[in-house]
């Protein structure tokens, strides 16, 4: 039996949704709305602190690998707890069909927090960069596996002009090499999860971090469950960890954040 390629399924659905969204709010109209927005919050600056490891705490209701993670999902309450525990940034999953997200969550979270907000989604074209800025993101995730070098460059340039930081996610050596050829890449996300098979390999970071130049800021994603994991990544030279499922599945969110981060 052929294995399901989850990423392929997500992208197909995303393209359908995107076509509809662009009919409701065409790109030129969207761009015109950006001029009146307040400045973005500095994401890179927030997660890059010398001699410490920063936390990007994630908000997501469900995922393709686990299903529903947090049945009692109160978006703003989660955001407030993250803010109160002292997280450096918040990642908000906005993909609807597989993660139970919504793009309106960005401003809902922003309204009750002071930290920068990362839009975590499957960005395929420039429209979504403008859309991210309009709906309240301070930074966007760009997945190297989904985009050519030219597409990455174009979306990075648009993000820069809009005051958005960008985290470029890689999963293997080939993707990392592609990203390192690009100019102006400061933030690299190493994802322990293979988005196509959904399998998590904690050794992914160990393999790839030695290939990342020291002037880059490295964020680790997926499979981080304990204080030992966080300490291990700190020793490896990682600047920030992005943690979602471990927090979202915890009955006491505040305690879990403090326990995993050693705060």
4 band by pLDDT with thresholds 50, 70 and 90: confident
**Predicted structure pTM score:** 0.96
pLDDT in tens, 99-142: 999 999 999 999 999 999 999 999 999 999 999 999 999 999 99
Number of domains into which the chain is organized: 1
Percent of the chain with pLDDT over 90: 91
Q: Kindly state whether residue 1 falls inside one of the protein's structural domains.
A: no
**Segments forming the whole domain that contains residue 191:** 42-261
Mean pLDDT over the full length of the chain: 95
* CA–CA dist 237, 3 (Å, integer): 35
Please state, as a whole number, how many other Cβ atoms lie within 10 Å of the Cβ of residue 39: 7
Residue 238's domain is classified under what CATH number? 3.20.20.70
* End-to-end alpha carbon distance in the chain: 46
Is there a domain that residue 25 lies in? no
pLDDT above 80: residue 243: yes
pLDDT at 158 over 60: yes
pLDDT of 3:
62
Query: Could you tell me the pLDDT band of residue 225, with boundaries at 50, 70 and 90?
Result: very high
Residue 217 lies in a domain: yes
Q: Dihedral of CA 59/56/86/111: which sign?
A: negative
Mapped onto helix, strand or coil, the DSSP state of residue 76 is: helix
pLDDT in tens, 62-76: 999 899 999 999 999
Structural domain includes residue 138? yes
| Per-residue model confidence (pLDDT) at position 104 | 98
Question: In the prediction, which pLDDT does 175 show?
Answer: 97
Q: What is the pLDDT of residue 163?
A: 98
Q: Which residue has the tokens 């393999």?
A: 207
In total, the chain counts a number of residues equal to 263
């Amino acid at each position: 039996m052929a294995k399901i390629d989850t990423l392929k399924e997500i992208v197909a659905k995303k393209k359908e949704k995107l076509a509809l969204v662009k009919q409701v709010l065409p790109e030129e109209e969207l761009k015109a709305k950006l001029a009146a927005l307040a400045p973005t919050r500095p994401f890179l600056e927030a997660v890059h602190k010398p001699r410490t490891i920063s936390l990007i705490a994630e908000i997501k209701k469900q995922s393709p690998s686990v299903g529903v993670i947090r049945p009692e999902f109160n978006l703003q309450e989660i955001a407030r707890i993250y803010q109160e525990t002292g997280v450096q940034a918040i990642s908000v999953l906005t993909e609807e069909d597989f993660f139970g997200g919504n793009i309106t969550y960005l401003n809902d979270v922003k309204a009750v927090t002071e930290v920068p907000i990362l839009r975590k989604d499957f960005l395929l074209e420039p429209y979504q960069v403008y859309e991210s800025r309009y709906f309240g993101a301070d930074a966007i995730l760009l997945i190297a596996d989904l985009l050519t070098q030219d597409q990455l460059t174009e979306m990075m340039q648009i993000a820069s002009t809009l005051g958005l930081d960008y985290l470029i996610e890689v999963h293997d050596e080939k993707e990392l090499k592609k990203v390192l050829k690009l100019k102006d890449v400061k933030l690299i996300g190493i994802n322990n999860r293979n988005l196509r098979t959904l399998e998590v390999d904690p050794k992914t970071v160990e393999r790839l971090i030695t290939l990342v130049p020291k002037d880059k800021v490295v964020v680790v994603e997926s499979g981080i469950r304990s204080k030992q994991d966080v300490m291990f990544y700190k020793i490896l030279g990682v600047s920030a960890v992005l943690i979602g499922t471990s927090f979202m599945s915890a009955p006491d969110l505040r305690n879990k954040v403090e326990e995993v981060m050693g705060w």
